[in-house]
Amino acid sequence: MATDRRAEVKWRGDLMSGTGRIDSVTSGAFGGLDVSWPARSDEPNGLTSPEELIAAAHATCFSMALSNGLAQDGHAPEQLDTSATVTFQPGEGITKIALEVVGRVPGMENGAFQEAAEKAKENCPVSKALAGVPEISLAARLEG
Amino acid sequence: MPRVQREANVTWEGNVARGDGTITAASGAFEKLPYSLASRIERPEGKTSPEELLAAAHAGCYAMSLAGELAGRSSAPEHLDVRAVVTLDQVADGSHRIVASEIHARARVTGVTEGELQEAAEAADKGCPLSALIEASAQVTVKATLEGGSNGD
């Protein structure tokens, strides 16, 4: 079954001095998030940006795929802490995404964890959609 | 221009079917947004999902790109409304894939003809880095209408 998720954005003015707002999304989980070009291409000053939202999309997708893979191997995680860092080069595009995950997974061996993390990186739907990013790196480690 | 880095952090607890997670933006713009598998592929029930975040990213990216194109060609838009709808679907091998992102932009901008808007809309799609990435594996469609124009809605 196909699932649709919608986002609505409003923008006023030109690119350099105009302002926008991520007004609403299907779930209602967030809304009213301001965006601007200076905040996107320089210091964020508390504002989100397309690249930060891509980081959020990728980190969430990767975490779900990894938890699924670990559970299928009989090692459901207690906790996964994931960060995604998206590098944006204005004029060039998105040049890198760095994924980092720290897992608390009872009874898991490091080698198997590395393998599961690599698989999640390859197969999660957001990774597939962003496969054209020149570099997607992964650092995975077990805690405890 | 210097390189820009943006970061988000996720905490996930439990397995995929019953577990849930939260997302926090490093900018501070949002924190601890909830998400879960059920809310991702069924009814959202107030929780976000990777695809919703990608829709927000795409709409934001496209809106900025279109504002830049219009300002460069004629005049800065008074107002743009951009909607992105991202579709996740099960494909032949049973896995889930992002199969489409549909952009619909409505523009209120003075002194722009319908033809010029369409040109700007197409250039904005090429100029938005996320469009190019998604197009490699999914369908990106762009529809642009002039508000108050002959086909405005």
Across B57-70, average pLDDT: 97
CATH number of residue A106's parent domain: 3.30.300.20
ipTM passes above 0.90? yes
Would you list the domain boundaries of chain B? 8-41, 50-146
Across B140-147, average pLDDT: 96
Chain A contact for B83 (CB, 8 A cutoff): yes
Among B1, B16, B90, whose Cβ lies nearest the Cβ of A68?
B16
**What are A8-59's pLDDT values in tens digits?**
999 999 999 999 999 999 999 999 999 999 999 999 999 999 999 999 999 9
Residue A73 located in a structural domain: yes
Q: Are A53 and A88 in contact (CB under 8 A)?
A: no
Put the strands of the sheet holding A19-25 in their side by side order.
Answer: A33-35, A19-25, A3-12, B79-90, B96-108, B139-146
Q: Are A19 and A11 in contact (CB under 8 A)?
A: yes
Residue A2 located in a structural domain: no
> What does the pLDDT read at residue B14?
81
A16, closest residue in chain B (CA to CA): B68
Q: How much of chain B, in percent, has pLDDT values that exceed 70?
A: 95
Residue A57 located in a structural domain: yes
| 3-state class (DSSP) for residue A68 | helix
Chain A contact for B149 (CB, 8 A cutoff): no
| Mutation site, A10, A33, A48, interface B, largest B CB count within 10 A | A48
Residue A14 located in a structural domain: yes
Query: Is CATH 3.30.300.20 correct for B50-146?
Result: yes
Say if residue A33 is in the same domain as residue A96. no
Counted domains in chain A? 2
Residue A1 located in a structural domain: no
**Beta partners for residue A97, in sequence order:** A86, A136
Say if residue A88 is in the same domain as residue A64. yes
What is the average pLDDT value for chain B, to the nearest integer? 92
A11 and B79 within 8 Å at the Cβ level: the answer is yes
Closest CA to B55 of B91, B23, B96, B102: B102
The Cα B148–Cα B111 span in angstroms is 12
Range of the domain at A11: 7-41
